[in-house]
Amino acid sequence: MPHPALPIVCQLTPPGRGAVATLSVEGPGALASVQAHFRAASGQPLESFPADRLVFGRFGGGPGEEVVVRVRSGEAVEVHCHAGQAAPAMVLGLLVQEGCRPSTWQERAAAEPDPIRADALIALAQARTERAAAILLDQYHGALRRAIDAVGRSILSGDTASARRQVQALLARAAVGRHLVEPWRVVLAGPPNVGKSSLVNALVGYRRAIVDPSAGTTRDVVSAMTALEGWPVEFSDTAGLRPTQEPLEKAGVALAEKKLADADLVVLVFDLSAPWSPGDEALMRRWPRAIVVHNKADLPRSAAPARPEGLVASALSGDGIDPILSAVVGQLVPECPPPGGPVPFAISQFHCLEAIEGALLREETVLALDILGKMGPSG
């Protein structure tokens, strides 16, 4: 039976998804186990680098596999390698040869006494992008726990105003945390035949939506997943919005309305070659915070009547696509958490923080501390 003091190696990220796989090595001898097969590009040993420095090099014999290693401490090391099956399996195999005990994220989560670390392990197994995984790794290594402990210290010292500000700062990042695993939902809407399907294809970079020249073709919701600046995003193309009695089209409009009600962001698409209409104006009033895109810039522009400002693009030629993507990211994530910053990411965490904020507003410090305790023991 393996000795319990041996380091444990576990692949934290889902196999075969994303560009990078992350393996965690934790326990006595973790640093030595990784160093036995790692060659830094600089030629320096791992122990010579400061904590949390990303060190590029190769892992394994011969030319080896390109990896990036992060040393959290002498007993906590991460190895980041190419995703897929071969590279993580090679790294895992060599570490097992060094005496590391292989484990699954499920086993690690079940044995983890800190619920924040356990939740981070579960979320990491579903992370779709490298950026999401990096933020979750920070939470696994204590970023959120330290912030929660700081709230507790502020309450115990009688500084409830500081505690409330700390909680509010965490809640301000809840939207980002919620979408580390669950993608942001961006829905394209507009009149029929303005090029929404073609625009979805251009935004995600491949042909996903069905494109047809006839008006009202899209009657179902067609979605496509992508990543924008490391954030998982789902674009959805919907049926054209207009009054109709035709049964299939009416059903498509109903599906579009439901998708729009659940959207994190709406992109209104209009035809730059067609006159601006009262129906277009009505859509603008319904979604005043939407990103406005005037599509079909490759066609002659309709001069009158005047239309509102918006981004101009051609889904056919690809002109104007990058500004749309930048605008989407800017609205979804106006402020990116700094490296190592605390980010709540689980529904239970959101509920606790909201309840703590309410208790602090009512000066119910005993209740606030009780709720804080439900977020688990500090390290």
At residue 247, does pLDDT exceed 60? no
**Span of 65-69, 248-252, 374-378 with lowest mean pLDDT:** 248-252
Confidence at residue 216, expressed as pLDDT on a 0 to 100 scale: 43
- 3-class DSSP state of 9: strand
Q: Provide the pairing of β-strand 101-103 with 38-40.
A: unpaired
CATH 3.40.50.300 positions along the chain are: 184-332
Pick from 87, 132, 97, 102: which is nearest to 25 by CA?
102
Percentage of the residues of the chain whose pLDDT score is greater than 70: 89
Residue of 282, 277, 307, 279 lying closest to 294 (CA atoms): 307
Q: Which of 3-7, 203-207, 346-350 tops mean pLDDT?
A: 346-350
Q: What is the mean pLDDT of the chain?
A: 88
Give the span between the Cα atoms of 354 and 376, in whole angstroms: 16
Task: Return the pLDDT at 34.
Answer: 97
Q: Which residues contact 212 (CB under 8 A, 6 or more apart)?
A: 197
Contact 204, 226 (CB under 8 A): yes
pLDDT of the residue at 259? 75
Listed in order, the ranges of the chain carrying CATH 3.30.1360.120 are 8-103
How much is the pTM? 0.82
In the prediction, which pLDDT does 2 show?
A: 42
pLDDT confidence of residue 377: 74
Cα–Cα distance, 243 to 222 (Å, whole number):
21
Q: Report the pLDDT averaged over residues 49-55.
A: 91
What's the token pair of residue 276?
Answer: 């601006």
* pLDDT of res. 257: 73
Q: Which fold has domain 8-103?
A: Gyrase A; domain 2 (3.30.1360)
- The domain 184-332 belongs to what CATH superfamily? P-loop containing nucleotide triphosphate hydrolases (3.40.50.300)
> Which tokens go with 365?
């410090």
